[in-house]
Amino acid sequence: MKLKKSDPQIAKLIKLETQRQEDSLQMIPSENHCSFAVREALGSILTDKYAEGYPSKRYYGGNEFIDKVENLAIERVKKIFKVEHVNVQPHSGSPANAGVYMAICEPKDTIMGMALQMGGHLTHGFKLSFSGKFFNAVQYGLDEKTHLINYDEVEKLAKEHKPKLIWVGGSAYPRIFDWKKMGQVADSVGAYLVADIAHIAGLIAGGIHPSPVPFVHIITTTTHKTLRGPRGGIIMVTKKGIEKDPDLPKKIDKAVFPGLQGGPHENAIAAIAVCIKEASTPAFKKYAAQVVKNAKTLAEELTKYGFNLISGGTENHLILIDLRNKNITGADAQNLLEKIGMSMNKNSIPYDPAPPFKPSGIRMGTPAITTRGMKEKEMKQIAIWINEVISNPGAVKKIREKIKKFCKKFPLPK
């Protein structure tokens, strides 16, 4: 209301973006719709406050209530993920991962992660990222046939290169990670093992995906993907991590502040506390289970229409499709689907012969559409539309109208 008067240009753009989200299906697997309560905390007066330091050890006065907010967030994260130490200050997922490097690595140390083209993340050692520039990054990949992590290769590379740090986790991996196997490999070479659960944190919190806690030393996550909170990042230290290095919690905290960041965003931290409270409810457990059921249904339906799914299906919230047999590039499919009102993203597939800016795949996910209340029946309908427009781009206009109507039945969280 105030914004409309003081800055009508921005107010108008926010309104248009709201309409875009309402009238179309958000199927980018790293996106979600957070609750109004989360947005209320995020838009609160807490954004005005400086709080460099940690609860009861601040470099600024006036943090009586801020300390309570941050402590609540920390306690809730500890409880839901069953970890020993939590830092909720990283501004997002990449800064959380930077905090881990800062805490346990020196420049030029050897680290290992899954290659970006195989479904890993930029921060796991990609050459253009700080993680590939400042460290000696060894990259592992997927088995060419099964599209599962090639655990034999991971073991061989770890023995050969003796990394200080190994990442497990990814952004385009539709299968359950073998935390235990990765734990054995890391232990056999004395490396720190970090699970980056950015994509699947909500599935783990909801109890539908196995937790890495017993097998890893550190966990990092974003808070805005399946966890359904504000944009943010968290670093956690497990019991196993503290057993390896009792100073690990202190090192992590020092790495985030003063190592990498100044003042924490306490409005975002309050919103994280709210989202973790929501994630602790039976309703969220049901939500997490439905996200996976929906992804499985969508995967089965698309397979029936001849789509070629990487790894043959999904066990989580995302699907990666090799479009080569459909004679369309990932970029063209993304544009076409955008026209009918489905937002998803082009993506490299494992061993993609095409260049990364024109990849052969498309990645889609169910977190946001499940938040809107869609179930298996709706997934079947979505698969029909995807197949229809890819086989017949002339049908764009007709399908667009149908999807607009369809969306009205599933409002965004209010």
Ligand X SMILES: *Cc1c(COP(=O)(O)O)cnc(C)c1O
- Residues marked active site are found at 50, 52, 196, 222, 225, 231
Instruction: Select from 194-202, 206-214, 292-300, 321-329 the region that touches ligand X (CB under 6 A).
Output: 194-202
* Using rule CB under 6 A, residue 265 touches ligand X: no
Half-sphere exposure for 271 (CA within 13 Å, toward CB): 30
Using CB under 6 A, pick the residue from 46, 69, 86, 93 that binds ligand X: 93
* Distance of closest approach, residue 247 Cβ to ligand X, in angstroms: 25
Q: Does 170 bind ligand X (CB under 6 A)?
A: yes
Encoded tokens for 258: 């003063």
Q: How far apart are CA 350 and CA 140, in angstroms?
A: 12
Closer to ligand X at the Cβ: 198 or 382?
A: 198
30 scored as a contact of ligand X (CB under 6 A): yes
**What is the pattern of x (binds ligand X, CB under 6 A) and - over residues 122-141?**
-x------------------
Cα–Cα distance for residue pair 3/20, rounded to 1 Å: 19
Give residue number: closest CB to ligand X: 93
374 touches ligand X by CB under 6 A: no
Would the annotation count 46 as a binding residue? Answer: no
Q: CB nearer to ligand X: give 223 or 370.
A: 223
The yes or no reply on residue 211 touching ligand X (CB under 6 A) is: no
Which residues, 6 or more positions from 49, have their beta carbon under 8 angstroms from its beta carbon? Answer: 62, 63, 66, 266
> Minimum distance between the CB of residue 11 and ligand X, rounded to whole angstroms?
26
Count of CB atoms situated within 10 Å of the CB of 414:
5
Q: Angle at the Cα of 127 (from 156 to 351), degrees rounded to 5?
A: 60
CB of 67 to ligand X, least distance (A): 25
Count of beta carbons in the 10 Å neighbourhood of residue 7: 12
Alpha-carbon distances of 9 from 23, 275, 398, rounded to whole Å? 21, 30, 32
Residue-level length of the chain: 414
- CB 266, CB 182: distance < 8 Å: no
Bridge-based pairing state of the strands 218-222 and 192-196: parallel
Q: Does 171 bind ligand X (CB under 6 A)?
A: yes
Interacting residues with ligand X between 219 and 258 (CB under 6 A)? 222
Chain residues binding ligand X by CB under 6 A are 30, 92-94, 97, 121, 123, 169-171, 196, 198-199, 222
